[in-house]
Amino acid sequence: MARIDYRDLATADARTREIAEKNRNANIFRMMAHSPAYFEQYCRLGRAIRFKGELDPIVRELAITRTGILCEAPYEVVAHKRIGKGVGVTDEQNEALASWKDAACFDETQRAALAFTDEVVTQRRPTDATFNAIAAKLTPGALIELQLSIGFYIMTSKFLETFGVDLQPVTEVV
């Protein structure tokens, strides 16, 4: 249950309403709409992460979903498992993410990205071995995008959990 009320979009400025509507008025955005300036910039960076980079979208979504799992943010996990399916993440991969190290459904690049994700989320920084393994698989641009995606979704996961943002009903698509 949300810890504060969601923003009443009927009282929001036109730009805030427009952004929320483009994002299907999802609970995360209705909560974030309390701060219109931050909300708009958050959405700009989120769109860049999801639609503008060179990082393989399957690798990106595996890393984002794994970040949500490690940050214990169910809203994020549910949303990005669904988004991941839309870009080619298999059901088997989505199911295996909680214990990915034991799963055979990930290729070498995906495994290196998941190891990198685990260390970025749980440690001060990744080890040299983990960093070098993913750096050998990605261009510098894609590597930057992977790290920024993980960082963005750590922030997002913490936001969701701090404010107790409610999961969307199953019939809604985020």
Assess whether pLDDT exceeds 90 at residue 131.
yes
* Helix axes 36-51 and 57-70, enclosed angle (nearest 10): 130
CB-side exposure of 34: number of CA atoms within 13 Å? 10
Q: Tell me: the pLDDT tens digits for 70-121?
A: 999 999 999 999 999 999 999 999 999 999 999 999 999 999 999 999 999 9
CA 83 to the chain's CA centroid: 9
Q: Distance between terminal CA atoms of the chain? A: 18
Average pLDDT over residues 1-23: 97
Average pLDDT over residues 151-174: 86
The residue written with tokens 């988004």 in the block is 83
Split at pLDDT 50, 70, 90, the class of 171 is low
> What b/e string do you get for 120-132 counting C-beta neighbours within 10 Å, with b at 16 or more?
bbeeeebeeebbe
The pLDDT assigned to 168 comes to: 82
Quote the CA–CA distance of 162 and 94 in Å, as a whole number: 25
Average pLDDT over residues 25-43: 97
Quote the CA–CA distance of 26 and 20 in Å, as a whole number: 7
Split at pLDDT 50, 70, 90, the class of 48 is very high
Residues in the chain, total: 174
Give the predicted TM-score (pTM) of the model: 0.94
Least confident of 16-20, 92-96, 165-169: 165-169
Assess whether pLDDT exceeds 70 at residue 54.
yes
The pLDDT assigned to 30 comes to: 97
Average pLDDT over residues 29-57: 97
Assess whether pLDDT exceeds 80 at residue 170.
no
Assess whether pLDDT exceeds 70 at residue 18.
yes
Assess whether pLDDT exceeds 60 at residue 33.
yes
Domain at 57-163, CATH from 1.20.1290.10, 1.10.3720.10, 3.40.47.10, 1.10.150.120? 1.20.1290.10
Average pLDDT, the chain: 96
Quote the CA–CA distance of 143 and 55 in Å, as a whole number: 8
The token pair that represents 174 in the structure block: 């985020």
Average pLDDT over residues 124-132: 97
